[in-house]
Amino acid sequence: MSSVIKKLPTNTLGKDYVIGDLHGCLDLLDRLLQNVNFNTTCDRLFSVGDLIDRGPFPLKCLQLLDKPWFFAVKGNHEAMLLECFANYLLTNTLPNTTDFDDSDFIYNGGEWIYKWLNLDKQFIASELKTSLKTTAELPLIYIIGTDESRFNLIHAELTKPKKNQTDSMVWLDADIDQWYEENAISPAVEHRLLWSRTLMDSDDSEYYHPKVQTGLSTTFCGHTISKTPKQFLSHVCLDTGAFLSINANSGFCLSLYDVNDSKCLSVAYHQEEVNVTSFIIQKEN
Ligand SMILES: [Mn+2]
C-alpha cells in the first residue's frame, strides 16, 4: 500500500537541498548540482513536485525518481499525468493518441507525451510504465526530521477551506501527524495540497500574512510562480518559473535551497553564472 505521507530522518551524513518546480529543466538542475558539488553518496535532493511538462526534458526529470538521493512529492502535473494513464496502469491497454485530446494534462503542457505515444509501443511499456508506477507511489507530503530540525515538503499549500477569526489559515504539524497516523488525507485537503494558490497569490497587497505560523514547521512548496522565493505562514515557495527563463531577460529562474547553509542558488537559461543569495527562513523562537 502506498503512503500519502512519508517520513525521513534528519540527514546526519551529508547536506539537504530543495529544488523548486523543475518542469523538465534538467539541464538547469545539473548546473545547480555541479555548483554545490552535490554528493550523490550522502546528500539528498528534495523536489516540491511538477517534474514534468513545459520544459525540454520532462521524461528525464521524471526518471530522477529512480535515483536513491532524489525525493519528490506529487505535483498537480504528476496527478494529471496519472489521470490520463489510470486505465493503462490498471488494464495494461495502451491509450490511443486521441485519448489525450481535450485532457487537462495536454492543456497544461503535456504535449510531450504525444512523441512517446507515437513511438514503438514496447518502448512505452518499458520506459514510461516504470516511471508511471513510481509516480503513482509519490506521497503528497514528506516530513523530514523531528522537532527543531523538522521541515515539511508539499507541492502547493496547506491552506484550509475557510479562514475564521479563531482558527489558523493553514493546517499545522499536529494535523499532518494525525494524517500520517491514519495514512489518509481527505480529497478536499489533497486538492488544495496540489492546486491551492490562496496564500501565495494573495501576497501582501490583499492580506497581510506573517512569515511564520506557530505550530507549523518550515514547509517547502512550489506551484505558484514568482521571480524570487517567498515565505508566508511557514510556507517557503521555491517556484521561480524555471521554464519561463527560456526567454532572455525574463527574470525567471530555477531555485535550489541549501537547507544547511540557508542559501538560495538560482540559474536561468541565457545566464552563465549561478546566483547565490542568503535566504534565512524565519522561524518561531
Ligand atoms: Mn503545480
State how many domains the chain has: 1
Q: How far is the CA of 76 from the centre of ligand 1 (A)?
A: 5
Residue 204 CA to ligand 1 centre (angstroms): 21
Residue 249 lies in a domain: yes
The answer on pLDDT for 135 being more than 80 is yes
**Ion ligand 1: protein residues whose beta carbon lies under 5 Å:** 50, 75-76, 223
Q: What is the pLDDT of residue 122?
A: 74
The string of pLDDT tens digits covering residues 1-26 is 579 999 999 999 999 999 999 999 99
User: What CATH number should be reported for the domain holding residue 241?
Assistant: 3.60.21.10
Domain of residue 42: give its range: 5-75+138-278
Q: With bands split at pLDDT 50, 70 and 90, how would you rate the model's confidence at 245?
A: very high
Q: What pLDDT sits at residue 250? A: 95
Is residue 283, in this structure, part of any structural domain at all? no
In a domain, 91, yes or no: no
Distance 74 CA to ligand 1 centre (A): 9
**204 found inside a domain:** yes
Distance of CA 12 from the midpoint of ligand 1 (Å):
31
Residue 103 lies in a domain: no
| pLDDT at residue number 156 | 98
- Residue 129 falls within a domain, yes or no? no
Provide the pLDDT confidence category of residue 231 given band limits of 50, 70 and 90: very high
Domain membership of residue 205 (yes or no) is yes
Model confidence at 238: pLDDT above 80: yes
- What's the 48 CA to ligand 1 centre distance in angstroms? 9
For the question of residue 77 being annotated catalytic, the response is yes
pLDDT surpasses 90 at 168:
no
Segment 164-178 shows an average pLDDT of: 89
pLDDT in tens, 39-86: 999 999 999 999 999 999 999 999 999 999 999 999 999 999 999 999
pLDDT digit string (tens) for 100-131?
888 999 999 999 988 888 777 777 777 888 89
Residue 99 covered by a domain: no
| Catalytic residue of the set 77, 155, 223, 235 | 77
Is the pLDDT at 208 greater than 80, yes or no?
no
DSSP the chain: ---SEEEE---SSS-EEEE---TT-HHHHHHHHHHTT--TTT-EEEE-S--SSSSS-HHHHHGGGGSTTEEEPPPHHHHHHHHHTHHHHHH-PPPPGGGGTT-HHHHTTTTHHHHHHTS-HHHIIIIIHHHHHHHHT--SEEEES-GGG-EEE-SS--B-S---SSS-SB--HHHHHHHHHHT---HHHHHHHHH--HHHHHHHHHS---S--TT---EEE-SS--SS-EEETTEEE----GGGGGSTT----EEEEETTTTEEEEE-TT--SPEEEE-PPP---
